[in-house]
Amino acid sequence: MPAATDRLLAAVEAIYDTAPNPSLWPSALGKIGDCFDDAGAILEWRKEDATFGVIVSESLTAAAREFEAQWAQHNFKGERAIQSGLYFSGEPVTARHIGPIDDAYLNHPFQKEFLVKHGLGWFGAVGVSPDPRIAVGLSVQRDFAKPQFSDAELDLVATLGRHVEKSLRLSIRLLDTELANLGLGDALARIGIGVFALDWSARVLFANPVGKSLLGEVFDLVNDHLRVRMAANRAPFEAAMTQMLRGGASDLLAEPRPILVGPTSTDRRFVIYLLPITAGALSANHVLTHTRAIVLAIEQKSAEPPDPAVVRDILGLTLGEARVASLVGSGLPPRMAAERLGIAEDTARNVLKRVFEKLNVSRQSELTALLGRLVLR
């Protein structure tokens, strides 16, 4: 196996190992940086209530401390990216996408006095959506003496971002300040999604209270093995489980896809995610010791806009297009959708036009009907 593939596989394994243990994120971000032979990587998130968080690879700890103390208000690159809506789109970006690399860029104090000092300068970044209420950005940091990120490297950033997004479906909930000081078992008991831990043979080792409540409606336990209750949805789940536990590199590196389940007997609908966990990820006294896979069951509530990441994956849209489609398809006019997303109304309308063209619809009511049929609203 080529060295580059070895590094990618190590990074993806490390990403999923953070799902039940968010303290592993600095190490995982370091392995993401290793995929590019770069300085390291950063994970940033912002919630709807304006709270935010940042995790950096261990190699960037000193730079992160100085940034927070002296440079947080001078990050012109981040400001440019936000103003241009690049993180909203979900497409990978680098310096050339946020404006000209001119004297103002090269001689900005943030560039010359901070980034270059720490062996930084270029970045490759992508926005992801592990939760409809949380915006997350992954960025890989590169020494200014090296070339900018190529298109092929940005594609790799995007690939890693999709795995990061899926792992964050669990780990970002465990990073919540109200849960951070609890043991894992207590934290899992308080999050509002179903969680099942499985061993190498797919036998259930652990289920949190929400997961247990789904037995008999979404899942059955058959000889201690988890089975989707609805026959029409059972085959995709079992195929994905077999593929994941087989543990081949191509299986682990495959593009993450959600599994849609429902309607149940009570007309509820769920999206299921499977997360692989490596043998060495959890200590011997960990509540999930011997876990090799985690199953997440997240209800898609009809009273709320559909998850834009699910809309993206099912309808083949970009993340930015899916964010607009989710809100407009739930009844919001483009102006209000733009306000919710922090973008200009003209941007929202232009994105909506692309959505209509891609999905072959011509009005908001048709988009609503399509989401209702295909995205389990």
279 CB contacts (<8 Å, ≥6 apart)? 292
Radius of gyration of the chain (CA): 21
Q: Which two tokens stand for residue 298?
A: 């997240």
pLDDT at 29 over 50: yes
Lowest mean pLDDT among 86-100, 142-156, 260-274, 335-349: 86-100
Tell me the H-state helices in 35-93: 61-66, 76-83, 86-89
The candidate with the shortest Cα–Cα distance to 351, out of 375, 373, 318, is: 318
CB atoms within 10 A of CB 329: 28
pLDDT at 333 over 80: yes
Distance of alpha carbon 265 from alpha carbon 323, whole angstroms: 29
Q: Whole-number mean pLDDT of the chain? A: 89
* pLDDT tens readout for residues 151-203: 999 999 999 999 999 999 999 998 876 676 778 888 888 999 999 999 999 99
More confident residue, 247 or 10: 10
19 touches 167 (CB < 8 A): yes
Token pair 């007997």: residue: 265
Task: Kindly indicate the confidence band of residue 326, based on its pLDDT and cuts at 50, 70 and 90.
Answer: very high
Average pLDDT over residues 217-232: 93
Distance of alpha carbon 368 from alpha carbon 377, whole angstroms: 9
Distance of alpha carbon 240 from alpha carbon 143, whole angstroms: 39
Distance of alpha carbon 31 from alpha carbon 237, whole angstroms: 29
According to the model, what pLDDT value does residue 64 have? 93
113 touches 149 (CB < 8 A): no
Average pLDDT over residues 293-318: 91
Cα 262–268–273 angle (5° rounding)? Answer: 60
* pLDDT tens readout for residues 118-147: 999 999 999 999 998 888 999 999 998 899
Average pLDDT over residues 308-330: 93
Average pLDDT over residues 335-364: 92
More confident residue, 333 or 180: 333
Task: Kindly indicate the confidence band of residue 284, based on its pLDDT and cuts at 50, 70 and 90.
Answer: low
More confident residue, 285 or 78: 78
CB atoms within 10 A of CB 364: 17
pLDDT at 5 over 70: yes
According to the model, what pLDDT value does residue 377 have? 45
pLDDT at 286 over 90: no
pLDDT at 251 over 80: no
More confident residue, 155 or 243: 155
Strands 194-198 and 204-207: antiparallel
221 touches 204 (CB < 8 A): yes
Task: Kindly indicate the confidence band of residue 104, based on its pLDDT and cuts at 50, 70 and 90.
Answer: confident
According to the model, what pLDDT value does residue 1 have? 43
According to the model, what pLDDT value does residue 332 have? 92
* pLDDT tens readout for residues 67-96: 999 998 888 887 877 776 666 788 999 988
